[in-house]
Structure 1
Amino acid sequence: MKLLLLACLSPKTGNNTTAERIRSHIESAGHTCELRDAAAFQSSAEVADLISRHPPFEGALAIHLFRAGSLLLDIQVPFGVIFGGTDINEDVKVEQKRVVMERVLLKARFAVAFTDKLKEEAKLFLLSQSCKIYVQPQGIQTEVSEKFCWTEFLRSSGLSVELTHELRVFLLVCGLRRVKDPLYLVDVFSEWHRENPLNVLVVIGPRYLFSNSGVRQKIDPVFSVEVEAVVKKTAGVFLAGARSQRELHAAMKRCFTVVNSSVSEGMSAAILEEFLHQSQRLLSDRELRERLVRNGKVYVEEHHGLGQERETYQRLVDTLLSA
């Protein structure tokens, strides 16, 4: 079976990694899966034209109902869709986008949500199509660069490396987008850094998108300037550009802890205060750190295995064949 997989494919992003992994699952079952960037198409008519070219595609998949799924509305072959967090956390709040997403979900043969919560919210905000929605957590495959060096990494981020072996690096992985709110922890972390200079926050992630012609542009030019200006004058907080997956995984493995922030997930002031409290606990309680790492590994093995993810996508693709 020849399949088209549409997704937002900006380099070194979660979308890109997820799309490549799903393509691998599909092709391991003997299908042909052609991955295309949704940003390369201006309309669903263009995708319909691509689908019909010889040899024609026999089915399609899209990651994100609005961004990519909307481009499948005019195709004449069966397709499935995969919810992205932006679909439910952001796009569904815009009436015009919500209507399009409902049309996509109505026409799709199946939909995949990464969590039970995402499925429940989809049922709440979109026309009821819950029988089509399957829950499959993302598979996690860690590839760590053995050549990773904290000294070089931190120096490239503008951080003095005199005490790198003693630093406790808190790593925030995100692109410079407002929805990820990389400035959420800046003030409180800077104050904490002044009390203890060994505690530093490094924000790592893509700042740029690349067009089909290779032209580089900032993801959010206005917000990027704002973030860069704030970080430049804030003690203990540093920006690092996008890295390869292997380098990023190495940084996540060797930092003190990975943190997260998101406007769409409701990060309140209470959570901010709790962050400091829990971080201080982690610093002082070695047993707690070891238990969290141990339990985290068990959870990933039980819920984010590649084998289960591969089986799910291969089974769902088979439903496209039985049209």
Structure 2
Amino acid sequence: MRLLFLAVLRPHTGNAVTAQRVRAHLEAAGHVCVLKDAFDFESPSEIANLILAENCEAALALHLYRGGRLLQEINHSADNLHIFLLICGLRQVKDPLYLVDAFSEWHQEEPSVYLVIAGPEVDPVFTREVKAKVRRAAGVRLIGEMPQEDLHAVVKNCFAVVNSSVSEGMSAAILEAMDLEVPVLARNIPGNAAVVKHEVTGLLFSSPQEFVHLAKRLLSEPALEKEIVVNGREYVRTYHSWQAERDAYQQLIRKLEGSAED
């Protein structure tokens, strides 16, 4: 996580020494800590602008009065965020960078929207490229592979699931999102279009700019979001039922067992 850390940094003071020690603890845990002197700022609005400029995800203050007062009026609540979740292994066919530039521009206009890319590091060379790009992109975050239960919890709490693949068979992430009653925005390729019917079970986009346009629609039209969620859930439960799949495989095995006995 990239953190803004406010402290009183006057030389040779206990606060300055403590701030350096706390920063070392945070960075040892793998976080990026942007340490700033609280005396350099006069208002919460200056801190809000700094958070955006530094692409920070959270802010801490060491001194309650000098630093804490600058954070009191800043709004850092997850309830106000809209997370668009792109689930994919980091490889070129999944094209995780397709939306990054357009999304980053949108985030600078609307700081409450974030694109989170979640998935395993499949291609080491391409992974380095993705990490470098995301590091420079405002409003875009990269998280690693996680257990299925944790991923489902993330899906349930995101605003929408995104698919930006160049090629796709039948996306499990799309079907799982529909089953979990989460809207889907998918790149308009044959594999996705076979599952997602535009404006019925999800939204299909053909360019990053169209993605942003459709995402804005989804944010501003609750009725559209509700319709897509209901239709998506019904589609996946009708045509991709987990129980129906189980019954079909069990029936197949019973037939094989019967043939073997004959």
Give the alignment's TM-score, normalised by structure 1.
Answer: 0.45
- Paired residues for 1:1-323 under 5 Å: 159-160=57-58, 162-207=76-121, 219-265=122-168, 270-321=206-257, 322=259
Which protein shows a greater Rg?
2
Unpaired runs of at least 5, structure 1: 1-154, 208-218
Offset at residue 249 of structure 1 (A): 0.9
Write the letter of the residue equivalent to 1:290: K
Q: Percent identity?
A: 50
Q: Secondary structure at the match of 1:224?
A: helix
* Deviation readout 1:106-144 (Å, 9 max, x if unpaired): xxxxxxxxxxxxxxxxxxxxxxxxxxxxxxxxxxxxxxx
- Measure, in 1, the Cα distance between the counterparts of 2:58 and 2:112: 11
Correspondence for 2:47: none
Q: Distance in 2 between matches of 1:292 and 1:263?
A: 23
| TM-score between the two structures when normalised by the length of structure 2 | 0.55
Residue 185 of structure 1 and its aligned partner are, at CA, apart by: 0.7
Q: Distance in 1 between matches of 2:58 and 2:162?
A: 22
Tell me the residue number matched to 1:146. Answer: none
SS in 1 for 2:79: coil
Could you tell me how far apart the structure 2 residues matched to 1:316 and 1:159 are?
51
Q: Indicate the structure whose relative CO is greater, using CA pairs within 8 Å and at least 6 residues apart.
A: 1
String of CA shifts for 1:262-298, please: whole Å, max 9, x gaps: 1124768834332122111111111111111122222
Q: Which amino acid aligns with 1:263?
A: V
d(CA) in 2 for partners of 1:271 and 1:243? 29
Deviates more, 1:260-269 or 1:231-240: 260-269
Provide closer, same or farther for how the CA distance between residues 270 and 306 of structure 1 changes in structure 2, counting only shifts above 3 A: closer
Gap regions ≥5 residues in structure 2:
1-30, 33-55, 60-75, 169-186, 190-204
Q: Distance in 1 between matches of 2:167 and 2:227?
A: 29
What is the alpha-carbon distance in structure 2 between the residues aligned to residue 295 and residue 311 of structure 1? 24
Instruction: Say which SS state the counterpart of residue 165 (structure 1) adopts.
Output: helix
1:51-80 per-residue CA deviation (whole Å, 9 max, x = no partner) reads: xxxxxxxxxxxxxxxxxxxxxxxxxxxxxx
Q: Is this contact kept in 2: 1:180–1:261, CA < 8 A?
A: yes
Question: C-alpha separation between the residues in 1 aligned to 2:136 and 2:207?
Answer: 25
Query: Structure 1 267/229 Cα, relative in aligned 2: closer, same or farther at 3 Å?
Result: farther
What amino acid is aligned across from residue 262 of structure 1 in structure 2? S
Counterpart Cα distance in 1 of 2:162 and 2:119: 13
TM-superposed deviation, 1:176: 0.8
Q: CA RMSD in A?
A: 2.4
Matched-pair contact (CA < 8 Å) for 1:169–1:200: yes
Whichever residue aligns with residue 157 of structure 2, its letter is R
Q: CA deviation at 1:319?
A: 4.6
CA distance in 1, matches of 2:255, 2:165: 35
Q: How many residues align?
A: 157
Q: Is the 8 Å Cα contact of residues 159 and 238 (structure 1) preserved in structure 2?
A: no
CA distance in 1 between partners of 2:226 and 2:188 (Å): 26
**CA distance, structure 1, for counterparts of residue 84 and residue 242 of structure 2:** 28
Q: Is the 8 A contact 1:193 1:200 kept in 2?
A: yes
